[in-house]
A and B are shown apart, each in its own frame.
Chain A
Amino acid sequence: MALRVTPSMMHMQLTRNLTRNLTQMQELQNQVTTGRKINKASDDPVGITYSLRYRTELASNEQYQKNVDSALSWLDFNDTVLDQAGQVLHRVKDLVVQGSNGTNPQVALDSIRDEISQLKNQLLDISNSKVNGKYVFNGQTFDKMPYDPNTPNFDPKTVVTDTGEISYAVGVGVTLPINLTGNQVFGAVGETDNVFAVLDNIMAGLTAGSQGAVSAQIGNIESRMDKILNARSEVGARVNRVELMQNRLQDLELNLTDMKSKTEDADFEKLLIESKVNESIYQASLSVGAKVISPTLVDFLR
């Protein structure tokens, strides 16, 4: 059938097409202004599930990075403290070597003893080190002082520190213990090279003027120094591991950001071209519409 075309059909069609063009323009406009091609679930139902997952993973990645930073600061602090303890023991060793020299008068031995007593106090201070208000050498009971001089009959060589591990989550399903206990570092109760027992023995030997007793402790001091050194290298290894984790998290963040952006970010060049094209189509439809709509036979009849 030959289709009659009436002005109202043309009007309808024009309105429809203009609306369609405008809708498209609005959609493009929205994408340009938000910078995202997914602005609601229906824009890309598959993409949005990815986009949500990337966002969640980025959030947890950010958290892990924060945890890694905290772990590093704790480990660095441990390292510093162990370094200090090592230096104290070096000094002790020097003094012991000096004291086991047979030519010292008792006065000299007494002053050595006094210095060692000072060094013992320094070690006690070190063993009670705190980071962020936490005692680092007391396991999970870091709210309590491990070597607390105020306990009745306080004797540091009988102190048992808490063995609980302090673990930080540094990745999905990856927790890392970051603490060393006082007993690991300074020696457990009854260990021959428990640093406080050794110092007490040295001081007793110095007081008694017994060089043999003093020099007998050199081996113990050296073995304790070795253990502290081992603890330091243990900390160093953990630092390496955490730093590796940190790098991995940073890479992951980069990847996730990249994938998220691929999934949900608008492609600006393409968008700008599209909106330009759309604009010119809209202009064209407007001008054609203006030409088409007005004339009827009425305009030409005199």
Chain B
Amino acid sequence: MRSTFHTLETTKRSLFTQQAAINTVGHNIANANTEGYSRQRVTMVASRPIEAFGMNRSTAPGQLGTGVEFTAISRIRTAFLDDQFRNQAKYVGNWSVQTDTLSKLEAIVNEPSDSGIRTVMDKFYQAWSDLSKDPENVTGRKIVRETAVALTDSFNQISKQLTDLNADLTTNIEVKATQANTMLNTIASLNAEIRKIEALGDHANDLRDQRDLLTDQLSQIVNVQVVEQADGYSISMGGTNLVEGDVVTELSSASLTAAFQSGDLNNGEVYGMFVARDVYVADYRRQLDTMANTLANGDIQITLPAGSVKPGTTTPITAPETITVKGINGLHKLGYTLEEPATTGLDFFTFKAGENGITAASIQLNPIISADTNKIASSMRTTTANGVTSVVKGNNTLALIMSELKDTPFKFDQTATGNGITEATIGNFYNSMVGSLGVQSQEAYRQYQNSVAQTELVDSNRQSVSGVSLDEEMSDLIKYQHAYSAAARVMTTFDQMLEKLINGTGVVGR
């Protein structure tokens, strides 16, 4: 049995429902450019018709419709694509940091240029060659000193830049940990909020969008696995739980370091920072240290020409003699300085006070030599007269050998570098170092571009599902507007019918 105002009720429902749809269209349009927003849709269902079955149902035929109601406003989103995106984003984070660091390393090494280590190295050898033409000359020695200082300065400076880069990366890891913690805390509180709202049967669309966006951003920082459970997203990094419902395990640089070592942290920006710091920067520092130390102390084979007088002896050798000495220092100690009586050279390179051993950071020209260039040895011949041994200043043997060191293979301690080079000229060692840096940088950049392309593809797919299309929304708007107008027309019609019924009937005999 239907009521008199049944149709009014039906049309009212229609008006409300279309209005909700129009409102949702408005909401979608408003958020067309909101990051992480997924479009929402009103689910309309025809409401329960009368009569319900039962013993006392009326005998009127037909199920009478009661109009429309909306059962849900839901967002359109595919969890599968989210997972894909998060799996790709971590690569973007990782490779972007690695690319960035490697290009900084390229800038530090600064080759090819006229100011890199290669150039000062060449100048150093040239200065020795010039000295070999004027071995008795003070000017030549001063130039040797200047070029040696330029060389050690270059080593020191690059080493300092590596130290700075190292410190920057360490700071960045902490900054990223803080950033990640903020996200984790927000995700946890969103978990709680969403749970409360959805317990009442609604969809917390906008809150879920926010949570997903934060999770996306988080996935670029560290590798995360996201599982949706009853109490919200539980997020873990490898075997480490980060968020469980509204409980957060905060990250710190210490815990991240542990996770990096245990393998729990294996991707994302922070991982990239660890790799950049502990692999690339550390490795190039090792190589530079080895290079500096080998230059000063690495084993080299040199040939002393006949007529040279070895230190501690007074008779010249009669035939050329090939011996092994320890780098520039060992070679320099074989020769005689300009001092009288004949004095053998000191260590050419030493290390700064407070350090132990020669590294790129600690290498310096021996301060004693720096203060007195007469202490630069260039001769390998002495003469003895009246019991006094004096140096033959015009002998340039040592200066010649020094200038030829550019083509002399040095023995490298391979355990320190691990790059497989055991014996090479310093120049070749350096060139291969620059070359391998180039390869790594190129590779990282390629990986970065690939991961970006992948991410963009997934994101595009996501947009295709969840993105707001204004065209679509406008056509929906028209659809709903017409539906609304039509419902209003039905109501007006029914109003007129009632008017007829109320005011137009029972007027017989007026």
Contact = CB atoms under 8 A, between A and B. Distances in A.
Interface in A44-76: 44-46, 48-49, 51-53, 55-56, 59-60, 62-63, 66-67, 70
Contacts of B106: 40-42
A270 interface: no
Contact of B126 (A38, A51, A60): A60
Interface string B103-129: 100110101100000110111011001
B497 interface: no
B111 A52 contact: yes
A45 B392 contact: no
Contact of B467 (A6, A16, A132, A138): A6
Given A132-B134, A264-B112, A45 B435 contact: yes
Max count, chain B CB within 10 A of own CB: residue among A13, A59, A264, A301? A59
Contact of B394 (A70, A142, A173): A142
A298 B470 CA distance: 8
Interface in B145-201: none
The 10 A-B residue pairs with the shortest CB-CB distance, nearest first, are: A45-B438, A41-B438, A6-B467, A42-B441, A140-B394, A59-B122, A49-B435, A297-B474, A42-B442, A45-B439
A159 to B, nearest CB: 15
B362 interface: no
A8 B463 contact: yes
A209 B465 CA distance: 127
B464 A5 contact: yes
B469 A7 contact: yes
A194 B430 CA distance: 56
Contacts of A139: 394
A162 B395 CA distance: 11
Interface residues of B, number: 65
A169 B126 contact: no
Interface string B390-427: 00111110001001101100000000000000000001
28 contacts: A4-B465, A4-B469, A5-B464, A8-B33, A9-B467, A16-B456, A38-B112, A39-B112, A42-B445, A45-B436, A45-B438, A45-B439, A45-B441, A48-B438, A55-B112, A56-B406, A66-B129, A132-B134, A134-B394, A166-B396, A167-B396, A168-B132, A169-B129, A169-B403, A169-B404, A173-B404, A297-B471, A301-B474
B130 A66 contact: yes
A132 B134 CA distance: 9
A6 B469 contact: yes
Interface in B32-82: 32-33
B102 interface: yes
B122 A141 contact: no
Nearest to B463: A9
B269 interface: no
Nearest to A36: B112
Interface of A: 3-9, 12-13, 16, 36, 38-46, 48-49, 51-53, 55-56, 59-60, 62-63, 66-67, 70, 132, 134, 138-143, 162, 164-169, 172-173, 175, 264, 296-298, 301
Interface centre among A8, A60, A141 (most CB of B within 10 A): A8
A38 B472 CA distance: 50
A191 B429 CA distance: 55
Contacts of B392: 140-141, 162, 164
Contacts of B400: 167, 169, 175
Contacts of A60: 122, 125-126, 406
A254 to B, nearest CB: 19
Interface string B368-405: 00000000000001010000000011111000100110
A168 B441 CA distance: 43
Contacts of B406: 56, 60
Contacts of B431: 48-49, 52-53
A5 B466 CA distance: 10
Contacts of A12: 456, 459-460, 463
B136 to A, nearest CB: 5
A227 to B, nearest CB: 23
A67 B403 CA distance: 12
A142 B460 CA distance: 82
Given A41-B438, A42-B442, 18 more contacts: A7-B467, A8-B33, A8-B463, A40-B106, A41-B109, A42-B441, A45-B438, A45-B439, A48-B111, A49-B432, A53-B428, A56-B406, A67-B129, A134-B394, A138-B394, A141-B394, A143-B394, A297-B474
A219 B334 CA distance: 48
B510 to A, nearest CB: 49
Interface in B244-286: none
Given A42-B442, A166-B396, A169-B403, A59 B435 contact: no
B227 interface: no
B493 interface: no
Nearest to B397: A167
B478 interface: yes
A67 B399 CA distance: 13
B212 to A, nearest CB: 16
Nearest to B400: A169
Contacts of A8: 32-33, 463, 467-468
B6 interface: no
B278 to A, nearest CB: 21
A206 B373 CA distance: 55
B470 A56 contact: no
